[in-house]
Amino acid sequence: MDPVTLAVVRGALEQIGDEMDLHLIRAAMSPIISETNDCAHGLFHPETGETIAQGGYGLPLFLANMQFTIQALLPRIEAAGGFRPGDIWITNDPYLSGTHLNDVVLVSPHYVDGKLFALFANTGHWMDMGGSAPGGWVPTAQEIHQEGIVIPPMRLYEDGRRNEGIVGMITANVRMPQQLLGDLAAMTNVFAVGRRGLDDLVARYGADVLKDCISEMMRRSEEEMRSYIGDIPDGAYRIVDGFDNDGVVDSPLDVRLSVVVKGTDLHFDFTGTDGPAIGPMNISANTTKSMCFVALKHIFPDVPVNGGAFRPMHFTIPVGSILAAQYPVAVGGTTDVTQRVVDVVFGALSQAIPAKTPAAPFGTTGVSTVAGVHPETGKYYVAVYPYPGGYGATSVSDGLVNGTPPGSMAKFMSVELSEHRFPLTFDYYAIRERSAGPGQNAGGCGSAYGIEVSSKSLVSVLGDRVDRAPFGIQGGGSAAPNSVAFRTGGRDWVPPMRSKAEKVAFAPGDRFDLGSPGGGGFGDPLDRDVSQVEADLNDGLIDLETAKTVYGAVVAQTRHILDRPVYTLDAERTRMTRGALRLEQKAM
């Protein structure tokens, strides 16, 4: 295979995915897609369903997940007569396609010279799918039908014509049908962008050369992934983490993982994981697999993402556990359950390759929704806010501050757009100081924001990581836990489930304040460079007490600029204090 041709073809295929991402982001009506980029696009093998290429602007979670969705759809489509030109299939079945009901998957075949050449697919988050709570996050849901409408796999378009009966059935069950219709039109139209790009590529190189390039791309990705796995010492690496509660029963849920490394193969064994959850803290097995791949991509970022990179991985996921949901359990907590899969993969592999593996990131999407009837338009609205938070530190750097979820990349909605579009006001949106896990390299800080509503609203929150904070590794400390606080009717209170609350009635002037966790630290905090501790202290990322008791800092001078203290640390006395602290730790 000519390496230049291979490189050009790979870049062109990825560019097709990028163009589809950007086209949908610009065309979608809902802010969850246009503002937070909650979507994804990819090109897939028509026979195996494996990922060929993906767009780089959407959610990483969806790309591996769409491969598994297509692979589950293929036998069903074959039984229904197979793909035909002009087809578009639709589903949001969470037990088949993973994630939750709001994530709608479309699949369309592409033909070259009358032969099926590839499959295009996209996923878009629709703002509301019906259900008992606006927006689809229902912390007390105990079955899928409380969360919204389930769309089984079916032909949405046949011979290029849309089935209006299907569309009417969907729009009759949601709160914002016009917005949904706009997003559906954008998602279907974006396939034309992909077809144009792929047809241009076929015209340039020919179908046979492209097929050879695709096979070689997958072979090389598999080979590269296996080379990295081969560097991990053989063995079994185990970890237990989990959730505060499931939103219905206030008892912890454990996620147990054993990563078994043997040669160039990885086996993810989740035997012993609790479940099913009575509440919505469940995900499908396909989504669990997808998040394992996302975690590996963070550890081995150089491996090109396609079906070949997934081949060295094997799974044991107990059916009926919270990581292999079966009908009719609720799955609305997918945004947090997926986070924990990333955390446990990091935690297990950090025991084997700590130089390459980060500490735990913030671990909760903490989605808040504000919904109601807009006092000016008289129309229903749903505002959705997924958390940013801190990433875990690594052996070579501090963690990212205010980062998007590792498997999501869903951005926080613009404050200005929110205040313009919805009857609410942000009191603040800021870095959450003192939320990072301490370490030789510190975790990143989370974020904090406060919202006050100006009309009657219903507020829901679905998060976690209050009782179990994000962990550090190699001696690093845990981050600050999640924080949720309401003020309604002049009273301050915390939800009984700490970070989960459903349809709380807000009156004008009521507010809520949320703070996401930071990331865990890496390495002994007493090994952190004194100048970095001084910078953290003066930037407000840590307080003076933490600087003294955790990092052993000794202040040489304090001065004030605009009534704010500015500290200068004494490096020599700090070194001596750290020595004394180490002796105390050994004595304990």
Per-residue confidence band for 95, with pLDDT thresholds at 50, 70 and 90 = very high
The three-class DSSP label of residue 92 is coil
Considering the entire predicted model, what is its pTM? 0.96
Q: How far, in Å, CA of 237 to CA of 258, rounded?
A: 5
Q: Average model confidence (pLDDT) for the chain?
A: 96
Q: Is there a contact between 420 and 328 (Cβ–Cβ < 8 Å)?
A: no
Summarize the confidence of residues 484-496 as an average pLDDT: 98
Nearest to 36 by CA among 411, 588, 549: 411
Summarize the confidence of residues 477-481 as an average pLDDT: 98
Per-residue confidence band for 97, with pLDDT thresholds at 50, 70 and 90 = confident
pLDDT of res. 256: 98
Dihedral of alpha carbons 173, 174, 176, 180, sign: negative
Report the run of H or E that residue 108 belongs to, with start and end.
strand 103-112
Specify the higher pLDDT residue, 447 or 587: 447
Summarize the confidence of residues 551-562 as an average pLDDT: 95
Q: How far, in Å, CA of 97 to CA of 153, rounded?
A: 10
Burial class from Cβ neighbours inside 10 Å (0-12, 13-18, 19+) for residue 489 reads: exposed
Lookup result for tokens 């942000």 = 426
Give per-residue pLDDT as tens, 190-219.
999 999 999 999 999 999 999 999 999 999
| Count of CA atoms in the C-beta half-sphere (13 A) of 490 | 0
Q: What is the layout of strands, in order, in the sheet containing 483-488?
A: 424-432, 446-453, 511-515, 483-488, 491-493
Give per-residue pLDDT as tens, 266-305.
999 999 999 999 999 999 999 999 999 999 999 999 999 8
Nearest to 463 by CA among 443, 483, 489, 448: 483
pLDDT of res. 189: 97
Lookup result for tokens 């896990």 = 437
Q: How far, in Å, CA of 334 to CA of 340, rounded?
A: 10
Read off the tokens for 358: 């980060």
Per-residue confidence band for 18, with pLDDT thresholds at 50, 70 and 90 = very high
Residues 284-322 as b or e (16 or more Cβ within 10 Å = b): bbbbbbbbbbbbbbbbbeebbbbbbbbbbbeeebbeebb
pLDDT of res. 588: 77
Q: How far, in Å, CA of 160 to CA of 82, rounded?
A: 15
Report the run of H or E that residue 298 belongs to, with start and end.
helix 285-299
Read off the tokens for 85: 């030109």
Phi, psi of 115 (to 5 degrees): -115, 140
Per-residue confidence band for 492, with pLDDT thresholds at 50, 70 and 90 = very high
Q: Is there a contact between 198 and 110 (Cβ–Cβ < 8 Å)?
A: yes
Summarize the confidence of residues 140-164 as an average pLDDT: 97
Give per-residue pLDDT as tens, 29-69.
999 999 889 999 999 999 999 999 999 998 888 878 899 99
Per-residue confidence band for 585, with pLDDT thresholds at 50, 70 and 90 = confident
pLDDT of res. 7: 96
DSSP label of 260: E
Q: How far, in Å, CA of 81 to CA of 241, rounded?
A: 45
Q: How far, in Å, CA of 96 to CA of 68, rounded?
A: 8
Report whether pLDDT(397) > 90: yes
pLDDT of res. 42: 96
Report whether pLDDT(407) > 90: no
The three-class DSSP label of residue 534 is helix
Bridge-partner residues for 522, per DSSP? Answer: 441, 473
The three-class DSSP label of residue 11 is helix
pLDDT of res. 391: 98
Give per-residue pLDDT as tens, 423-475.
999 999 999 999 999 999 999 999 999 999 999 999 999 999 999 999 999 99
Listed by start position, the domains of the chain span 3-221, 361-523, 528-587
Return the number of other C-beta atoms located less than 10 Å from residue 560's C-beta: 8
Nearest to 482 by CA among 504, 498, 459: 498
Q: How far, in Å, CA of 480 to CA of 516, rounded?
A: 8
In the chain, % of residues over pLDDT 90: 94
- Angle of helix 3-27 relative to helix 177-205, nearest 10 degrees, comes to 160
Q: What distance, in Å, lies between the first and last C-alpha atoms of the chain?
A: 62
CA dihedral 420, 423, 428, 433 (to 10 degrees): -110
Q: Is there a contact between 107 and 153 (Cβ–Cβ < 8 Å)?
A: no
Q: How far, in Å, CA of 330 to CA of 116, rounded?
A: 37
pLDDT of res. 471: 98
Give per-residue pLDDT as tens, 111-137.
999 999 999 999 999 999 999 999 988
Summarize the confidence of residues 332-337 as an average pLDDT: 94
Pair type for strands 265-269 and 313-316:
parallel
Give per-residue pLDDT as tens, 501-511.
999 999 999 99
Report whether pLDDT(408) > 90: no
Summarize the confidence of residues 493-521 as an average pLDDT: 98
Q: How far, in Å, CA of 365 to CA of 403, rounded?
A: 11
Chain centre distance of CA 107? 22
Q: How far, in Å, CA of 216 to CA of 211, rounded?
A: 9
The three-class DSSP label of residue 569 is strand
Report whether pLDDT(410) > 80: no
Residues whose CB falls within 8 Å of the CB of residue 299, separated by 6 or more in sequence, listed in order: 346, 349, 353, 356, 357, 358
| Count of CA atoms in the C-beta half-sphere (13 A) of 312 | 25
